[in-house]
């Protein structure tokens, strides 16, 4: 899907086209951008908002353009660091914590 959308439309639309096709009101988009300025992620956030979806954004540095694009009901998990490696390490930890929380909520127990 990524290469087809990138080839037929534009690489800035590789995620937003999929969000528009599959996203529904009440769904949650997990948007990840180390810089907070990835244009394809920004487009996906716009598409998610059009569909009535909430956004959980993982960013770094100062949150970039993504931080400014989020709405009140969205969640920004920003890693205020300049080094890409450190930001991505914390993003991995956050994703594992989110997965654990979702598992516990849906399935309970150990």
Give the model confidence (pLDDT) of 76-87 as tens digits.
Answer: 999 999 999 999
Give the list of residues 6+ apart from residue 9 with CB closer than 8 angstroms, or none: 17
> If pLDDT is split at 50, 70 and 90, which confidence band does 110 have?
low
Q: Quick one: which of 96, 63, 56, 93 has its CA closest to 81? A: 63
Query: Rounded mean pLDDT of 13-42?
Result: 98
Give the tokens for residue 25: 């009101």
Question: What are the tens digits of pLDDT across the range 34-67?
Answer: 999 999 999 999 999 999 999 999 999 999 999 9
């Amino acid at each position: 899907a990524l290469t087809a959308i990138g080839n037929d439309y534009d690489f800035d639309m590789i995620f937003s086209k999929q969000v528009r096709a599959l996203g529904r009101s009440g769904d949650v988009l997990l948007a990840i951008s180390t810089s907070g300025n990835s244009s394809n992620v920004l487009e996906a956030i716009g598409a998610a908002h059009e569909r009535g979806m909430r956004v959980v954004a993982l960013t770094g540095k100062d949150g970039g353009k993504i931080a400014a694009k989020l709405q009140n009901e969205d969640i920004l998990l920003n890693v205020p660091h300049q080094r890409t490696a450190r930001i991505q390490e914390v993003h991995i930890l956050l994703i594992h914590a989110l997965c654990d929380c979702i598992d516990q909520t849906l399935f309970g127990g150990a």
